[in-house]
């Protein structure tokens, strides 16, 4: 039974599939302190959070069973990603579910600051009939958008409908895409100098921290308005207060703060030109359901060892590449696993060669599976998130090669594992109608499906050996399911690959090793 802890308020409707899963127990407990979380996290396989829970390294190290942290939302700045990656904890988010909610809040904030709706509301309910709130129209104004991802692009579309001119900046925004959504491209400073309204939609990173600060306020159009529904700190709060005092900024609307919640004496809170909300961008019924559904689905996939898509601490794999590579993941892992079990000594290099169909795509996700396979019997807590990190931290050199030809195979994955004592090579392919096949061990051609208990016996190709191995296993009640013999030349060295129904006891392995003409015996499980 997998145990999932939900430590922030997350839509019950959205996580219904977790409640419904017969292999999952869900516990909801919000508002825990770090120490309280540390005390209980050891019982859980998954942790689901929004933005309140700060998932620190200490919490993760207490979470000895933790496989996945699910963030029901976009930003993962409340999760220590580096610590998660080191421990092999997969971090997933729900990047699409709250785009519209946040975009619509941004628009509401822009209109509110243009027409001073909250300020007017406050006076009206306070009994004052003040009609001096003269606002500005959005039509014919210039909107600058910093960060043209999901939310920024949706804001741009709506701004166009309101008759605004839109200038955008995003290092990944191409001219073609900008043209398609009717946005002019500009640099941060060009935007700052021209815009009547500016809204930011980037993550908070070292590059975006104080993206708008004193130098930008100095060149801003007087009387402009600013909106931040992304992350506190993208706009320098103190520099903005000064810019309001200097009449540069006529109004601002902030949903997010450098420190949340802000202190009672935060200068925004009693400034009549600043509208504030308590980080409500994603707070719609629809968005909360969407993100909870997305994150629950992914958590279930990860707990059940099924493929998943939104891991934040793994490089993204485009769908077209994933479609090509996914069928090879199992094969790659098995090749790695066999090599990891048969190679004697500490591995210092893994050489992977991709041939045939595989040479045209970025194969690094597949390489992760191979590396994971090599070390899976040696390193506890290893998974595809931390496999490369753990290999590199042990100074293992990973070399990836690609070749056009693959002899008679349409695709071929060949892996060599090097230790101080020896080099071992295995090649595998996906054969139409037959699935994953291992087709070479060292220099020997073979053909078998790597599954269950295997015996690899290196021997000299002499009459009677196969019979003796069969008899010895039979008399010890070890049933042989399949047998393959590979050799290069008659009478030379050869290899025997047996799949057996249960693992052979060590005395049987010793007896096998002692047989004349048998060079070595290696038992493994795949």
Ligand X SMILES: O=C(O)CCC(=O)C(=O)O
Q: Which residues bind ligand NAI (CB under 6 A)?
A: 73-75, 95, 98-99, 102, 146-152, 169-172, 201-203, 205, 207-208, 229-231, 255-256, 279, 281-282
User: Distance between CA atoms of 367 and 377, rounded to whole angstroms?
Assistant: 17
* Shortest distance in whole angstroms from residue 154 CB to ligand NAI: 8
50 binds ligand X (CB under 6 A): yes
* Among ligand X, ligand NAI, none, residue 207 binds (CB under 5-8 Å by kind): ligand NAI
Q: Residue 514 has what DSSP assignment?
A: H
| 487 carries an active-site annotation | no
Counting beta carbons within 10 angstroms of the beta carbon of residue 195, is it exposed (0 to 12), middle (13 to 18) or buried (19 or more)?
buried
* Among ligand X, ligand NAI, none, residue 477 binds (CB under 5-8 Å by kind): none
User: Distance between CA atoms of 146 and 170, rounded to whole angstroms?
Assistant: 6
98 binds ligand X (CB under 6 A): yes
User: Distance between CA atoms of 410 and 414, rounded to whole angstroms?
Assistant: 13
Segment contacting ligand X (CB under 6 A): 40-48, 70-78, 460-468, 504-512?
Answer: 70-78
* Among ligand NAI, ligand X, none, residue 330 binds (CB under 5-8 Å by kind): none
Comparison of 233 and 428: residue with beta carbon closer to ligand NAI: 233
Segment contacting ligand X (CB under 6 A): 69-77, 176-184, 343-351, 374-382?
Answer: 69-77
Question: Do 460 and 493 touch, CB atoms closer than 8 A?
Answer: yes
Residue among 279, 368, 440, 487 flagged as catalytic? 279
Q: How many CA atoms lie within 13 A of 142 on its CB side?
A: 17
Question: Do 523 and 473 touch, CB atoms closer than 8 A?
Answer: no
| 207 carries an active-site annotation | no
User: Distance between CA atoms of 118 and 113, rounded to whole angstroms?
Assistant: 8
User: Distance between CA atoms of 350 and 339, rounded to whole angstroms?
Assistant: 10
Distance (Å) of CA 304 to CA 47, 423, 445: 15, 35, 35
Comparison of 41 and 287: residue with beta carbon closer to ligand NAI: 287
* Shortest distance in whole angstroms from residue 145 CB to ligand X: 17
* Among ligand NAI, ligand X, none, residue 170 binds (CB under 5-8 Å by kind): ligand NAI
* Shortest distance in whole angstroms from residue 148 CB to ligand NAI: 6
**15 SS3 class:** coil
Phi, psi angles (nearest 5°) of residue 178: -60, -45
Residue among 231, 368, 440, 487 flagged as catalytic? 231
Show the site string, 255-294: x = touches ligand X by CB under 6 A, - = not. Answer: ------------------------x-xxx-----------
User: Distance between CA atoms of 522 and 456, rounded to whole angstroms?
Assistant: 5
User: Distance between CA atoms of 254 and 278, rounded to whole angstroms?
Assistant: 9
Comparison of 96 and 357: residue with beta carbon closer to ligand NAI: 96
Indicate the pairing of strand 46-49 with strand 2-6. parallel
| 231 carries an active-site annotation | yes
* Among ligand X, ligand NAI, none, residue 147 binds (CB under 5-8 Å by kind): ligand NAI
Q: How many CB atoms lie within 10 A of CB 264?
A: 7
Distance (Å) of CA 163 to CA 104, 143, 196, 225, 436: 17, 10, 13, 17, 58
Alpha helices for 220-344 (secondary structure H): 237-245, 285-303, 319-342
* Among ligand X, ligand NAI, none, residue 50 binds (CB under 5-8 Å by kind): ligand X
Comparison of 268 and 376: residue with beta carbon closer to ligand NAI: 268
Q: How many CA atoms lie within 13 A of 419 on its CB side?
A: 14
Comparison of 73 and 428: residue with beta carbon closer to ligand X: 73
Please report where in the chains the tokens 């899963």 appear, as a residue: 21
Binding test (CB under 6 A) with ligand X, winner from 7, 11, 51, 416: 51
Comparison of 46 and 398: residue with beta carbon closer to ligand X: 46
Comparison of 45 and 294: residue with beta carbon closer to ligand NAI: 294
Closest CA to 71 of 80, 59, 62, 61: 80
Comparison of 182 and 327: residue with beta carbon closer to ligand NAI: 182
* Among ligand X, ligand NAI, none, residue 515 binds (CB under 5-8 Å by kind): none
* Among ligand X, ligand NAI, none, residue 150 binds (CB under 5-8 Å by kind): ligand NAI
User: Distance between CA atoms of 184 and 166, rounded to whole angstroms?
Assistant: 6
Residue among 260, 286, 422, 423 flagged as catalytic? 260
70 binds ligand X (CB under 6 A): no
67 binds ligand X (CB under 6 A): no
* Shortest distance in whole angstroms from residue 278 CB to ligand X: 10
* Among ligand NAI, ligand X, none, residue 202 binds (CB under 5-8 Å by kind): ligand NAI
Residue number of the CB closest to ligand NAI reads 149
233 binds ligand X (CB under 6 A): no
Question: Do 524 and 341 touch, CB atoms closer than 8 A?
Answer: yes
Comparison of 279 and 487: residue with beta carbon closer to ligand X: 279
Residue 64 CB contacts under 8 Å (≥ 6 apart), including other chains: 42
232 binds ligand X (CB under 6 A): no
Residue number of the CB closest to ligand X reads 73
Plot region of 442 (φ>0 → left; ψ -120 to 50 → alpha; else → beta): left
Residue 81 CB contacts under 8 Å (≥ 6 apart), including other chains: 91, 312, 313
Residues involved in catalysis: 231, 260, 279
Chain contacts with ligand X (rule: CB under 6 A):
50-51, 73-75, 98, 279, 281-283
């Amino acid at each position: 039974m997998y145990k999932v802890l939900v430590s922030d308020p997350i839509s019950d409707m959205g996580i219904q599939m977790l409640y419904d899963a017969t292999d999952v127990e869900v516990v909801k407990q919000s508002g825990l302190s770090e120490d309280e979380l540390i005390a209980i996290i050891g019982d859980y396989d998954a942790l689901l959070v929004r933005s309140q829970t700060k998932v620190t390294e200490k919490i993760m190290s207490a979470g000895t069973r933790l496989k996945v942290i699910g963030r029901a939302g976009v930003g993962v700045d409340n999760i220590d990603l580096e610590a998660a990656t080191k421990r092999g904890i997969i971090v997933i988010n729900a990047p699409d579910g709250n785009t519209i909610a946040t975009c619509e809040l941004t628009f509401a904030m822009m209109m509110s600051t243009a027409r001073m709706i909250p300020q007017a509301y406050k006076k009206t309910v306070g009994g004052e009939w003040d009609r001096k709130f003269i606002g500005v129209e959005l039509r014919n104004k210039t909107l600058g958008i910093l960060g043209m991802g999901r939310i920024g692009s949706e804001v741009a579309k709506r701004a166009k409908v309101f008759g605004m001119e839109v200038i955008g900046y995003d290092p990944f925004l191409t001219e073609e895409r900008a043209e398609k959504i009717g946005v002019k491209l500009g640099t941060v400073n060009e935007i700052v100098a021209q815009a009547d309204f500016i809204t930011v939609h980037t993550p908070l990173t070292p590059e975006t921290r104080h993206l708008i600060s004193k130098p930008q306020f100095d060149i801003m159009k007087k009387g402009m308005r600013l909106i931040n529904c992304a992350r506190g700190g993208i706009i320098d709060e103190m520099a903005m207060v000064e810019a309001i005092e200097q009449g540069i900024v006529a109004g601002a609307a902030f949903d997010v703060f450098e420190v949340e919640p802000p202190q009672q004496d935060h200068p925004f809170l009693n400034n009549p030109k600043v509208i504030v909300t308590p980080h409500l961008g994603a707070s719609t019924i629809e968005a909360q359901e969407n993100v909870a559904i997305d994150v629950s689905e992914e958590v279930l996939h990860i707990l059940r060892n099924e493929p998943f898509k939104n891991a934040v601490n793994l490089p993204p794999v485009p769908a077209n590449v994933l479609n090509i590579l996914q069928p090879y993941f199992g094969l790659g892992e098995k090749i790695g696993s066999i090599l990891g079990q048969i190679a004697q000594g500490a591995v210092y290099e893994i050489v992977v060669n991709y041939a045939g169909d595989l040479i045209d795509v970025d194969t690094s996700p597949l390489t992760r599976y191979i590396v994971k396979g090599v070390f899976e019997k040696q390193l506890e807590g290893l998974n595809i998130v931390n496999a490369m990190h753990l290999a590199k931290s042990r100074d293992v050199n990973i070399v990836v090669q690609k070749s056009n030809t693959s002899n008679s195979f349409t695709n071929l994955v060949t892996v060599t594992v090097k230790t101080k004592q020896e080099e071992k090579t295995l090649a595998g392919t996906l054969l139409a109608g037959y699935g994953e096949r291992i087709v070479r061990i060292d220099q020997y051609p073979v053909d078998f499906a790597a599954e269950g208990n295997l015996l690899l016996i290196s021997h000299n190709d002499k009459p009677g050996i196969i019979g003796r191995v069969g008899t010895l296993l039979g008399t010890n009640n070890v049933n042989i399911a399949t047998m393959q013999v590979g050799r290069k030349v008659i009478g030379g060295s050869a290899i025997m690959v047996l799949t057996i129904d249960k693992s052979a006891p060590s005395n049987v392995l010793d007896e096998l090793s002692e047989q004349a003409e048998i060079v070595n015996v290696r038992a493994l499980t795949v």
